[in-house]
């Protein structure tokens, strides 16, 4: 079984795999814990769950910058600030919604950006228009299928080993 098929069948996305790589909790353990709890034992989910996930994404990107690129905490924080400033431009120019792989249920775009991450909805690759995107061309990107494989930064760092 291919690695991608395994993660799709197990319910774990690439983001979860990356979190696991950095020693954070995987989705499988959380799912198993949720199944064994009775409703009375289940913790109350706060409405700030999205902010926690976003923070985890930022922390993950920061950790990659420090470990893979050898940046200091301050350098990584400055780069994340730059990423946050660049995100609206990326999402404005993005052509994800016209791509054959994009699905109508998805509400996110700009998957090439490090702070966006992969789609939790898109699972099948049906053709990639990333190479036609103004952001891709402006930034000199080299990869594609960011919605299913990860951001340009993640894919380039994965090549570094």
**The predicted structure's pLDDT at residue 55:** 53
13: number of Cβ within 10 Å: 19
**The predicted structure's pLDDT at residue 56:** 76
Of the chain, the percentage scoring pLDDT greater than 70 comes to: 65
Kindly state the tokens that stand for 97: 């919604």
- What is the band of 3 on the pLDDT scale with cuts at 50, 70, 90? very low
Number of H helices, E strands in the chain: 8, 0
Question: Can you tell me whether residue 121 is helix, strand or coil?
Answer: coil
DSSP state of 107: -
Find where tokens 């700030």 sit.
48
pLDDT top residue among 30 and 73: 73
Measured distance CA(10)–CA(154) in Å, rounded: 22
Residue 53 vs residues 42, 45, 50, 69, 117: alpha-carbon distances, Å: 19, 13, 5, 23, 11
- What is the band of 39 on the pLDDT scale with cuts at 50, 70, 90? very low
* pTM given for the model: 0.65
pLDDT of 130 > 90? The answer is yes
Measured distance CA(87)–CA(134) in Å, rounded: 14
Among 46, 6, 52, 19, smallest CA distance to 118 is for: 19
Measured distance CA(160)–CA(106) in Å, rounded: 31
Which of 21-25, 92-96, 119-123, 155-159 shows the lowest per-residue confidence on average (mean pLDDT)?
21-25
pLDDT, tens digit (0-9, with 9 covering 90-100), for 78-92? 999 999 999 999 999
């Amino acid at each position: 079984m291919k690695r991608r098929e395994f993660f799709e069948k197990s319910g774990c996305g690439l983001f979860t795999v990356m979190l696991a790589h950095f020693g954070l909790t995987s989705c499988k353990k959380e799912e198993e814990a949720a199944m064994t709890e009775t409703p009375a034992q289940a913790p109350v989910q706060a409405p700030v769950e999205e902010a926690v996930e976003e923070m985890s994404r930022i922390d993950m990107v920061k950790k990659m910058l420090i470990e893979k690129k050898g940046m200091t905490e301050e350098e990584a924080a400055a780069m994340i600030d730059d990423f946050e400033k660049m995100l609206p431009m990326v999402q404005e120019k993005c052509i994800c919604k016209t791509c054959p792989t994009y699905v109508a249920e998805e509400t996110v775009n700009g998957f090439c950006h490090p702070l966006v991450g992969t789609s939790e909805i898109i699972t099948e690759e049906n053709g990639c228009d990333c190479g036609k995107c103004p952001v891709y061309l402006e930034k000199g990107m080299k990869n594609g299928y960011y919605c299913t494989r990860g951001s340009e930064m993640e894919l380039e760092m994965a090549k570094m080993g």
